[in-house]
């Protein structure tokens, strides 16, 4: 009913005048807010909030009247839902005010809505109130500036209260991170980072032993741990927004004790905290690469597989963020360590070692760096490829997936120097493309196609030509289903093979061109719904007025790749 009243107020019939001229509305709302019935008070506040959100300028002249209503609602002693409605209405009304000073004394009672709800054990109301405060930070942090220290202290208390639900504590952290992103200078002055960084790590310490972790081949289906994920993401966002000069000194004083701790959780969190901070602290970390790399390498021999996995992940991220300096100066201990962990008892660790090798190979694109990459990798080439060949002999999908990608990366780095090892891998890759036809192996097959094309491009036409026809025929005969991951890999493989074969590629055009043209002409999936329904999963979401527009970016990516492939094949 409240939404209906607000809608009519904003959209009168032509004979009823302009929006905001419904003379009976304000007296009616005031009457509602003064009612003895809590549901009436809640409805009155909700109506004003809904109207203010879209046409608040029509109500600004009566700001003093509405402020009194909001103030009474925020202090409502009988109902948490009324206090929450008053908070929401106040947040929606603020953008229409030319001067927020009139509402400045409402900040404390707005925050008190959270505290009162928590004291009463009403976490649902507390969470909703925190969400409104977070939105207020995003839209109008200046309004909260005078009380931000007190509000942040409250949010930290919410984070630290282990008796609260994970969602409630996560919103407390989200509030603080939002403040850091919207006003980093203010956060630096507040000197809250020395509390906020350890809080993120406390969240991450909730990581639990997962009996299924080792057996899980789909890493995206690892058991989601809400607080761990929230702490990890928060640490990344804080380091990006606040910067290394402030974040790194705090992190440095903590990490040492974590990575040397007796509990594997602490060691894992210590490593992942470094990993999450590399981008935001890149300038400061680049001056201390030796010590940071040493921290990760020291845990390559950790007794716990999750810690070894975290060490590999950290080093892989660093290889991407600090190349080519990291590769130039630390190739020997890193590549030796990766070779060692490709024989690890844990298949998940083996797979991550191959993934880290992929990251190690992927740095720099100019000619000098490409040549230097080849020179760096040369002495380790045979040993690494023998390890990868051994991994490809196993049955675990996660290992096959990462090992195939690592072979492709090494071939791309070494080019013609990979030729002596061509026969170690091409028969295997062709066998995967031919045999891995079940739905659960589509991605493995797709990456085998990618690897075969990259190996062929690396070694050249003379070496690859005898196998090219077979590879092309298998690609051309591939039947893709819906949103099939093979489509992208096949579209990207064709121009590589074209570049390798030159004029000998012409006979395959009749197979190549139709699906390429189909992909290039594909109409992306676009959907629209009311904004209040939230974002659409799997789509890029754009808010336009009261509508949410969703565009499936995978379709756009397929069109782009197809157009690039057509250009490369011309």
- Which position has the higher pLDDT, 404 or 498? 404
Place of tokens 């999750």: 306
Do the bridges between strand 540-544 and strand 547-551 make them parallel or antiparallel, or are there none, so unpaired? antiparallel
Residues 525, 551 contacting (CB under 8 angstroms): yes
Alpha-helical regions (H) of 415-476:
422-435, 442-459, 461-476
Residues 153-179: tens digit of each pLDDT: 999 999 999 999 999 999 999 999 999
Residues 485-535: tens digit of each pLDDT: 787 888 788 888 888 887 776 666 666 666 666 666 777 777 888 877 778
What separation in angstroms does the CA of 238 have from each of 55, 62, 188?
35, 40, 11
Neighbours of 13 (CB within 10 A): 7
Measure CA of the first residue to CA of the last residue in the chain; give whole Å.
62
Residues 6 or more apart whose CB falls under 8 angstroms from that of 173 comprise 155, 159, 199, 200, 203, 230, 231, 234
Cα–Cα distance for residue pair 15/274, rounded to 1 Å: 65
Region 299-315: mean pLDDT is: 97
Under the banding of pLDDT at 50, 70 and 90, the label for residue 50 is confident
Classify 420 as helix, strand or coil: helix
What's 100-168 look like in SS3?
HHHHHHHHHHHHHHHHHHHHCCCHHHHHHHHHHHHHHHHHHHHHHHHHHHHHHHHHHHHHHCCCCCHHH
Q: Which two tokens stand for residue 438?
A: 């079940």
Residues 454, 496 contacting (CB under 8 angstroms): yes
Under the banding of pLDDT at 50, 70 and 90, the label for residue 20 is very low
Helices and strands, counts by H and E, the chain: 28, 3
Neighbours of 567 (CB within 10 A): 9
Taking CA 151 as the corner, what is the angle to CA 156 and CA 70, rounded to the nearest 5 degrees?
135
Tell me the pTM.
Answer: 0.84
Residues 120-140: tens digit of each pLDDT: 999 999 999 999 999 999 888
Cα–Cα distance for residue pair 319/326, rounded to 1 Å: 6
């Amino acid at each position: 009913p409240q939404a209906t009243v607000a809608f009519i107020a904003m959209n009168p019939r032509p004979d009823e005048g302009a929006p905001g001229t419904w003379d009976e509305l304000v007296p009616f709302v005031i009457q509602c807010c003064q009612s003895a019935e809590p549901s009436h008070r809640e409805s009155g506040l909700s109506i004003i909030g809904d109207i203010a959100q879209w046409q608040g300028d029509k109500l600004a002249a009566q700001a003093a009247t509405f402020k009194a209503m909001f103030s009474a609602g925020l202090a409502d002693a009988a109902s948490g839902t009324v206090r929450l409605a008053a908070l929401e209405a106040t947040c929606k009304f603020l953008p229409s005010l030319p001067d927020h000073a009139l509402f400045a004394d409402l900040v404390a009672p707005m925050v008190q809505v959270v505290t009162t709800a928590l004291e009463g054990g009403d976490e649902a109301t507390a969470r909703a109130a925190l969400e409104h405060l977070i939105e207020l930070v995003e839209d109008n942090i200046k309004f909260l500036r005078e009380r931000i220290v007190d509000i942040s202290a409250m949010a930290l208390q919410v984070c630290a209260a282990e008796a609260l639900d994970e969602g409630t504590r996560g919103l407390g952290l989200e509030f603080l991170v939002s403040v850091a992103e919207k006003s980093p200078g203010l956060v630096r002055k507040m000197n809250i980072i020395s509390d906020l960084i350890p809080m993120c790590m406390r969240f991450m310490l909730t990581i639990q032993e997962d009996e299924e972790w080792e057996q899980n081949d789909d890493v995206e289906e690892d058991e989601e741990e809400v607080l761990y994920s929230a702490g990890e993401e928060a640490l990344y966002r804080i380091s990006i927004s606040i910067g290394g000069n402030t974040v790194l000194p705090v992190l440095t004083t903590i990490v040492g004790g974590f990575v040397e701790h007796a509990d594997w959780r602490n060691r894992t969190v210590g490593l992942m905290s470094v990993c999450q901070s590399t981008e935001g602290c890149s300038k400061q970390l680049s001056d201390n690469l030796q010590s940071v790399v040493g921290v990760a390498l020291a845990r390559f021999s950790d007794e716990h597989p999750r810690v070894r996995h975290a060490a590999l992940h950290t080093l892989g991220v660093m290889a991407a963020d600090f190349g080519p300096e990291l590769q130039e100066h630390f190739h020997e201990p890193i590549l030796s360590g990766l070779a060692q962990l490709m024989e690890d008892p844990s298949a998940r660790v083996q797979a991550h070692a191959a993934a880290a090798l992929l990251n190690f190979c992927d740095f720099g694109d100019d000619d000098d760096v490409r040549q230097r990459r080849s020179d760096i990798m040369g002495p380790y080439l045979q040993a690494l490829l023998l390890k990868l060949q051994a991994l490809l002999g196993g049955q675990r999908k996660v290992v096959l997936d990462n090992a195939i990608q690592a072979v492709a990366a090494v071939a791309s780095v070494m080019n013609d120097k990979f030729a002596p090892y061509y026969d170690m891998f091409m028969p295997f890759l062709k066998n995967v493309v031919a045999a891995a036809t079940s739905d659960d192996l589509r991605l493995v097959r797709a990456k085998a196609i990618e690897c075969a094309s990259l190996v062929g491009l690396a070694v050249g036409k003379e070496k690859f030509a005898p196998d090219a026809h077979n590879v092309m025929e298998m690609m051309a005969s591939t039947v893709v289903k819906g949103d099939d991951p093979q489509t992208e890999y096949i579209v990207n493989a064709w121009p590589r093979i074209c570049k390798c074969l030159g004029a000998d590629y012409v006979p395959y055009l009749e197979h190549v061109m139709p699906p390429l043209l189909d992909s290039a002409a594909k109409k992306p999936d676009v959907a629209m719904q009311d904004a209040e329904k939230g974002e659409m999963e799997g789509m890029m979401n754009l808010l336009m007025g009261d509508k949410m527009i969703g565009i499936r970016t995978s379709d756009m990516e397929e069109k782009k790749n197809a157009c690039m492939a057509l250009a490369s094949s011309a």
